[in-house]
Chains A and B, each alone.
Chain A
Amino acid sequence: MSDAMTHTDKTDAPEDETKRDFIFIATGAVAAAGAASIAWPLVAQMGKAADTLAAGSIEINLANIDEGQQVKMLWRGKPVFVRHRTPAEIKEAEATNVAECPDPAEDNERLVPKADGTVDPRFLVMVGVCTHFGCIPLGEAGDFNGWYCPCHGSHYDTSGRIRKGPAPKNMEIPSYTYISDTVIKVG
């Protein structure tokens, strides 16, 4: 027994420090990679689930919306405003000097073209969420005849652009496409 121990001690005697450091680092690296690979699912599970993502698009028939009417549709848990604008509202939106806007954008930049490349200025499609803290603005209201957010007093014009108040940006235009002349698909 004691012979064996002595023998073992002898084989251990010349210590290879480089080899030992390598084993330490390699073991540590494997452990870290293992910890990270189990940590990631724990973090990622909080993201959007497959069914949430699958329910991410809706179709809207524009033919059902009369002039001067606005519809509110629930899309991804948020309202989408589709407003059939009157000629006066369109004129007002197009005539605006965008240099005066906090978030400059021409009216036609806020419209998505149809398959033939033309835009239909009658229909304004926006995410109906104030860019300040996410409240829902009221239609046909505010100093610019567009929308007004009652929470902290942001005024939007007939193109949904922020004109006055604390909101930093224009109301968001969702990604949508015309799947026929009168039907759009949002998302």
Chain B
Amino acid sequence: MSGHPSTYEPKYAAEKWLDQRLPIIRMGADFMTFPSPRNLNYWWTFGGILTLCLMTQIISGIILAMHYVPNVDMAFDSVQRIKRDVPFGWMLQPLHAVGASMFFLAVYMHMFRGLYYGSYKAPRELLWIFGCLIYLIMMATAFLGYTLPWGQMSFWGATVITGFFGAVPFVGESLQQWLLGGYAVNNATLNRFFALHYLLPFVIVALVGLHVWALHHVGQNNPIGVTPKTKSDTLSFHPFYTVKDAFALTVFLLIFAFFLFYLPDSLGHADNYIQANALQTPAHIVPEWYFLPFYAILRAVPDKLMGILLMVGAIVVLFVLPWLDTSKVRSMRFRPVAKWFFLFFLVFCFLLGWCGAETPDNYVFKLGDGGLTFYRLSQISTVYYFAYFLVILPVLGLVEKPIKRPESITKSVLGSSAHAPATAE
């Protein structure tokens, strides 16, 4: 998978024998010695963190599946049984539930990193697109999984989300009932959601394989976005970045453990402790926090189909981003104007999340008789979200004058004293 000349030399006869037949140790060794830019900062540690998140979800998920019963009469009780009666279930169930939130937290950091440092630009377009695909399937997996505990939010969340398909012109109702396997969310729905929830993580594993393959073919981007030119611009992945990743991972695990052991329910919704009831809707249907910005976009327009199209568009626009951003400069460190627009983008993403959690008719602040409603704020934020991708980045690349970039990574790290870069290794 590596795009650099192999330095692996088999020492023992058995290694040589294996290397001639299946060079799997060579592949691992090349992976560990992959030349990585020497200036990677902590924003580059989320790849490793995300790998751990995926493994955590798969392992804890397989364990939960051994105790969970995908049947409308037993699902809710079986999850409660896991939490109360199964040995260490009190920890394993929240590990999976909190783990999902942590996974999204890390993936959002990873994505914002890519947005700021222009990691989606040539030659990393496919790398970025595989990432977007992973994110898309992560969202599907999270939604399917949230249905399984069969609480009120599970049931009504599933009703609302599958309702999106009902808005498709002409075939909507048939499509929705085909997905549900009935007229409404029912036992058949729960069964298929369980089957797909178990399947999709392995699709993600395959896509991660492609994502990492693409990464090792084009090499990592770096904070200054200048491609490594000489050997002194790079460091071996191990031990330099394995250690850096391990430190970041430890910090991340502290945050994870804090939520897992002290606030396991804080990221979920209390209504999900009420068993699903097809005859009663909770007063406020709210998705998990990681979907709130998209929920706000959905509600930002009064028209049902338009809302859905905008919400889908908010994801689709990420896929075409490499061709929307016209600037050749990768890192926003050298884009004095774009940097500010990015900061506003970040703020508006948070505002959208806030809007998604609130009732649209409530006021952000009151001014005399009127004020700013969350509905209006979500509209403003949605406009900025799309404008950032469709107007600001395409236009800015043509008119902005970037700051002069360093000639090389080595020069940017060592300053003007780097006249003899060969000594750096």
Contacts and interface: CB of A to CB of B under 8 A. Distances in A.
A33 interface: no
A153 B283 CA distance: 11
B299 A152 contact: yes
Contacts of A134: 159-160, 163, 166
A41 to B, nearest CB: 14
Interface string B332-375: 00000000000000000000000000001100000000000000
Contact of A151 (B279, B281, B303): B281
Interface of B: 156, 159-160, 163, 166, 177-179, 181-186, 188, 192, 278-281, 283-285, 299, 302-304, 360-361
Nearest to B159: A134
B295 to A, nearest CB: 11
Nearest to B184: A77
A46 B181 contact: yes
Interface stretch (A7-15, A47-55, A90-98, A110-118): A47-55
B375 to A, nearest CB: 10
Contacts of A166: 299, 302-304
A135 B304 contact: no
Contacts, number: 73
A78 interface: yes
Main secondary structure of the interface of B (DSSP, over half): loop
A: contact size bracket: 20 to 34
B304 A150 contact: no
B182 A150 contact: no
Nearest to B161: A133
A58 interface: no
A165 B287 CA distance: 21
5 contacts: A48-B181, A52-B188, A166-B299, A166-B302, A167-B304
Contact of B285 (A46, A47, A151): A151
Interface in A49-102: 49, 52, 56, 72, 74, 76-79
A141 to B, nearest CB: 12
Nearest to A187: B183
B284 A49 contact: no
A132 interface: yes
A153 B188 contact: no
Nearest to A135: B281
A46 B179 contact: yes
A74 B279 contact: yes
A91 B284 CA distance: 33
